Each structure stands twice: as C-alpha cells, then as structure tokens.
C-alpha cells in the first residue's frame, strides 16, 4: 500500500510523502536530481498543493522537463488581483 505509511514503504518514499505535503516550505530545488523533482511535482499536484509560489520553486529547479510539463498541462499563473476600490463604477454591486 504505497503512500499509507505501511511497513513496506522505504525511507525515500516516506520522505517524498512528507515533502509533498509540506512543499510550500521548500526554498529551492536546485541541485536535486531531475527524477526526484518530477516525482515531487507529480505528488504536489495530486495533493492539490500547487500554487504560484510552489510552481515558481519547481520552475527555478533548472530542469527543462519541469518547464515542458507545465507548458503541456497549460499551467499558468493567475492574473494580478485588482486592488479593492470603493468606486461603484468598478463593479461594486448596488447598495439597497
């Protein structure tokens, strides 16, 4: 039973699980072997932990395969948020 903490899990498997769950705390992946970065990227997506900061960490890993996967999956950063304004013409609903 992979990923469940079963006795058969290797230390590498358990470490990958912990990393994927806490990927937002990873400061960089430069120098990490490509196959490990790709596995961590896959698990990060499976767990729903991919956000803009985490995506940038993966892209800065220096592995072209990560960039190719991101392009193939059409993953893009969100557009910038419009700052809050109290001007009604910016789309604020009517006040009743």
Cα(23)–Cα(20) distance, integer angstroms: 5
Residue 13 pLDDT class (50, 70, 90 cuts): very high
Residue 53 pLDDT class (50, 70, 90 cuts): very high
pLDDT given at position 96 = 60
pLDDT given at position 76 = 85
> CB neighbours of 82 closer than 8 A, spacing ≥ 6?
90
Determine the average pLDDT of the residues in 28-51.
95
The CA-atom distances, in angstroms, between 56 and each of 6, 13, 29, 39 are: 32, 24, 10, 16
pTM exceeding the 0.75 threshold for the entire prediction: no
Per the prediction, the chain carries an average pLDDT of 85
């Amino acid at each position: 039973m992979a990923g469940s903490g079963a006795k058969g899990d290797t230390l590498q498997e358990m470490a990958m699980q912990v990393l994927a769950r806490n990927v937002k705390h990873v400061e960089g992946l430069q120098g990490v072997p490509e196959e490990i970065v790709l596995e961590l990227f896959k698990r990060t997506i499976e767990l729903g932990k991919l956000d803009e900061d985490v995506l940038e960490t993966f892209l800065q890993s220096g592995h072209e395969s990560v960039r190719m996967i991101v392009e193939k999956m059409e993953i893009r950063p969100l557009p910038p948020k419009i700052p809050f304004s109290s001007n009604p013409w910016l789309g604020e609903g009517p006040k009743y």
